[in-house]
Amino acid sequence: MGVGHGHGHQASRAADRVRLRWVLLVTGTVLVVELVGAWITGSLALLADAAHMATDAGAVVLALGASYVAARPGGARSTFGYHRVEVVAALVNAVVLLGVCGYLAWTGVMRLTDPPVVDGPALVGFALVGLVANAVALKVLSGGDGTSLNLRGAINEVIADLLGSVLAVAAGVAIWIGDWHHADPVASLLIAVMILPRAALLIRDSGRVLLEIAPADLDLDDVVHHLSHAPGVVEVHDLHAWTITSGMTSLSAHVTVRDDVLQERGVGAILDALGDCAATHFDVRHTTFQVEPESHQEHEDLGEMH
């Protein structure tokens, strides 16, 4: 990985941590306000939003901790460092979101048959506080690194909170004006429905990184095509591409080169050409190429994995 590339990640993480600390302060304050509001009004929608605010606060704490750990230098055994901690944190956040969805759905269905009496005006007031706070938190986080799965996990939590506050306000208005108390459990069910796809997408993206699946935006056939046009290259094989953490792609390949070109240009020049190709065409700077003379092809053993 290039030095500048690594420093860019560190600077981005530091800026994201500042944003996460501000969001944690806002979230913690609103959590207390909404818990009081749920107790006063008896609203499931407000309690659901408060419960999700609690998971949101936990998610931000998790994201903050992961960001600090990921910034630590690698050791003798952790040769890639601790970057993947951020991806694990994103996965945990997504799983928690799924748990919240299940709770909201189950409780909402139970209350549809016998909706409790809810204080509509008070519900609107408390929910508006959450709405404004979540809008501020989303604005703060949206200025961060959009490619970071860790930050995306925190943003998804805040978006879900924002939607929850909007629906809680709507439920309060429906109860206040129309005396429709079913609006409260209906709002909690809608919150669950809207959270579900975001959690599923985050699990999918985190899983792709942890399973070392090639990045979706990297066409491996195109990589082989470009590398094959480097001077003297006969074949590109045993190509692997994976993501260490968000925005940090690695690539390795065996590259067979004609013997005469290797003698004339040397391995260094070939490696420079391959590295420049990966960086220029695919913005991949963490690369490992094994350059092999064409005369060595019959002796290559790639192991049982291949």
Q: Where are the domains of the chain?
A: 3-210, 220-299
| Whether residue 286 has pLDDT greater than 80 | yes
| pTM for the whole structure | 0.69
Please name which of 47, 62, 56, 63 lies closest in space to residue 195, comparing C-alpha atoms. 56
| CATH code of the domain occupying 220-299 | 3.30.70.1350
Examine domains 3-210 and 220-299 and report if their fold is the same.
Answer: no
| CATH code of the domain occupying 3-210 | 1.20.1510.10
| pLDDT tens figures, 57-78 | 777 776 777 667 766 776 777 7
| pLDDT tens figures, 19-30 | 778 778 877 887
Sign of CA dihedral 30, 31, 34, 40: negative
Name, of 131-145, 157-171, 234-248, the range with top average pLDDT.
234-248
Looking at per-residue confidence, does 50 or 236 come out higher?
236
